[in-house]
Amino acid sequence: MNVKLNDNVLVITGKYKGKQGKVLKTDPKTGRVIVEGVNMVSKHEKARKANETSRIVNEESYIDASNVMVVCPACNKPTRVYHAIVDGKKLRIHGGKDGCGKPLDTGAAKKSKKAAPVVEEEAPKKRTRKRSQKAAEEKKD
Q: Look up the CATH number of domain 1-71.
A: 2.30.30.30
Instruction: Considering only residues 117 and 98, tell me which one the structure prediction assigns the higher pLDDT.
Output: 98
Listed by start position, the domains of the chain span 1-71, 74-110
pLDDT for 112 beyond 50? no
Q: What is the SS3 string spanning 85-137?
A: EECCEEEEEECCCCCCCCECCHHHHCCCCCCCCCCCCCCCCCCCCHHHHHHHH
Residues 17-59: tens digit of each pLDDT: 999 999 999 999 999 999 999 999 999 999 999 999 999 999 9
